[in-house]
Amino acid sequence: MPNEVKAFKPKIVAFCCNWCSYAGADLAGTNRLNYPADVKIIRVPCSCRVNPMFILRAFQRGADGVILCGCHPGDCHYTTGNYYARRRMTLLFSMLDYLGIEKERTRVEWVSAAEGAKFAATMNDFVETVTRLGENKRLEDLRCKE
C-alpha cells in the first residue's frame, strides 16, 4: 500500500441485523478472524430497521463508508424484512450514484450467523475499497470538521 494513503483511516459504520449478521460478526471474533478496527458495528433488530436517514446521517457526520448486513434473502428472522431492505437500499444507492456520490461507499451484504469468515472478508474488502476512495467529501457536513 502506498505511503500517502496509508495515513488515511476511513470511518466505517456497519449496520448488522441481530439474528444473522451480528451473530456472524461475533463468529468472526470467536474465530479470531481479523478485519480493520475502522469498522464499528451498530446492532439493529433487522436490516429492514435501517432507515436511509441513518445512512445519510452517518455520511453527514463524517463516515467514509456505510455497509448494511442482514440475513440472506429468504432467511429473515422476521420472514420478509430483508426483502424490503433490499428494495430500499437498491433505490437509495442508485440515487446516491445519480447524485455523483461514489457508489462504492455504500454496500449491502447478506451474512448468515454461520458466515464469520464471510463477514471478516467482506469488511476487509469494504475497508480496502473505501480507503482507496479516500475521504468522503461529497456527502459531508463540513461543520462537523471543526
Partner 1 sequence: MQRIGVFVCWCGSNIAGTVDVKAVSEALSHEPGVVYSINYQYMCSEAGQNLVKDAIRDYNLTGVVICSCSPRMHENTFRKAAASAGLNPYMVEIANIREQCSWIHKDMPTATEKAIILGRAAIAKVHLNAPLMAGESPVIKRALVIGGGIAGIQTALDIADAGFEVDIVEKEPTIGGKMTQLDKTFPTLDCAACILTPKMVDCAQHEKINIFSFSEVEKVKGFVGNFHVTIKKKARFVDETKCTGCGECTAKCPVKGVPNEFNLGMDNRRAIYIPFAQAVPKVATIDPNYCNMLKNGKCGLCAKVCGAGAIDYKQQDQFVEREYGAIVVATGFNPIKLDQFDEFGYSQSKDVITSLEFERLTNAAGPTSGTLLRPSDGKHPHTIVFVQCVGSRDTSGCGKTYCSRICCMYTAKHAMLTREKYPDTDVYVFYIDVRSPGKNYDEFYRRAVEQYGVHYIKGMVGKVAPRADGKLMVQASDLIAGEQLHIEADLVVLATAIEPDKTARPLATMLTASMDTNDFFTEAHAKLRPVESPTAGIFLSGACQGPKDIPDTVSQAGAAAAKVIGLLAKDKLTTNPCVAESNELMCNGCSSCEKVCPYGAITYLDKEFRMPDRTTMVRRVASVNPAVCQGCGACTVACPSGAMDLKGFSNSQIMAEVDAICQMK
Partner 2 sequence: MQGMMIARAGELLENGTVTRVLGWQTGEFVYDITPAVFESAEELEKGFVYNSFCGNNLSKYLIQASRKEGKILVFLKPCDTYSFNQLIKEHRIVRENVYIIGIPCDGKTDGEFLKAKGVKGILGIREEGDNFVVDTLYGEKTIAREDALPERCRNCKSKKHMVYDELMGEEGEVLDSHRFDMVEKLEAMTPDERFAFWRSQLSRCIRCNACRNVCPACSCEKCVFDNPQSGIAQKAAADSFEENMFHIIRAFHVAGRCTDCGECSRVCPQNIPLHLLNRKFIKDIDTFYGEYQAGEDTESRAPLTNYTQEDVEPSIVYTRGGNN
Contacts with partner 2 by CB under 8 A lie at 52-53, 56-57, 59-60, 73-74, 80, 83-84, 86-104, 107-108, 138-143
Residue from 104, 101, 112 nearest 128 by CA:
104
Contact by Cβ (8 Å): 117, 33: yes
- Calpha distance 64→134 (Å, rounded): 8
Residue type, position 107, single letter? R
Q: Contact between 74 and partner 1 (CB under 8 A)?
A: yes
Look at residue 42 and give the partner it binds from partner 2, partner 1, none, a contact being a CB closer than 5 to 8 Å depending on partner kind.
partner 1
Look at residue 114 and give the partner it binds from partner 1, partner 2, none, a contact being a CB closer than 5 to 8 Å depending on partner kind.
none
- Calpha distance 132→37 (Å, rounded): 16
A 10 A CB-CB count for 87 gives 11
Please enumerate in sequence order all residues whose Cβ is within 8 A of that of 107, keeping only pairs 6 or more positions apart, or say none: 65, 66, 67, 68, 126
- Of 33 and 56, the one with the shorter C-beta distance to partner 2 is 56
Q: Which of 62, 72, 117, 129 touches partner 1 by CB under 8 A? A: 62
Look at residue 97 and give the partner it binds from partner 1, partner 2, none, a contact being a CB closer than 5 to 8 Å depending on partner kind.
partner 2
Angle between helices 21-30 and 116-133 (to 10 degrees): 100
Look at residue 96 and give the partner it binds from partner 2, partner 1, none, a contact being a CB closer than 5 to 8 Å depending on partner kind.
partner 2
Which positions touch partner 1 (CB under 8 A)?
11, 13, 18, 22-23, 25-30, 32-35, 37, 40-46, 48-54, 57-58, 61-63, 74, 77-81, 84, 88, 120, 144-145
